Amino acid sequence: MIENATSPDTNLSVIDVLRTASILHFEGAKEECQEHLEHEMLESEALLVLAVAREQHLENLAQTASSVVKWKFQEAVLDADLSQIPVEVMAQVLESDCINLPGKEESLILSAVARWCKHQELSLESNNEDLKKVLSEVHLPLLLKTVRFKLIPPEIVDTFKAKLPYQTGRKFLESVLVHLKGGVAAPPGMSKGIAIKCGTQAQYFSFDTKVSVFAHYSAVSAKF
């Protein structure tokens, strides 16, 4: 059945069947789809498979997809369609310390954040200002906190800031740049990091690790 539903270039039909079978509790079809994807997963679709596996609580498939995404980051994230990827899944991937970054360039995480935001924005209706606000004030800061800015030259961060279409993100990066250039000391009792006001929320941002402790983070939530 699976072989007849796919082509060598895509598993999208299998991913759709898997989601439907999981929702309707068609266990036989669900298991067959999982087995196919675990053995025939395309790198360009691995992130979407991860999102569906997380959504449907398919842990074995999620682990397989996560491994592919982290090892084949260029193909799975930087060259893939990110329009259907929830922010939570994107953040979980980007905050990992096990990503195989081409050339070990941490700035590629910034590139991934920018691509995700662009794909999400293009998928929204032009007049949907509420979701655009959530994208710029909630989701973008959530993704930016996964970046280890201390490993990125300030001039690259500055270039990225100039191209960012969202004011909240630009303010976030302005604070990061001031800290990286030695203009601001860490908060009392916190040796590595800085408190940054992002939108209406305050957060503590760590520069040496991908761990960030949010203070009273926004209660606004939305899924695209």
Task: Decide which of 40, 72, 104 is a domain's last residue.
Answer: 72
The reply to whether the predicted model has a pTM over 0.85 is no
Q: What is the pLDDT of residues 38-95, one digit of tens each?
A: 998 999 999 999 999 999 999 999 999 999 999 999 999 999 989 899 999 999 999 8
Q: What is the pLDDT of residues 111-148, one digit of tens each?
A: 899 889 888 888 776 567 778 788 888 888 888 888 88
Task: Decide which of 72, 91, 111 is a domain's last residue.
Answer: 72
Distance CA 213, CA 197 (A): 13
Q: Give yes or no: residues 115 and 143 share one domain.
A: yes
Q: Give yes or no: residues 133 and 210 share one domain.
A: yes
Q: Give yes or no: residues 68 and 85 share one domain.
A: no
For 206, the domain range is 81-224
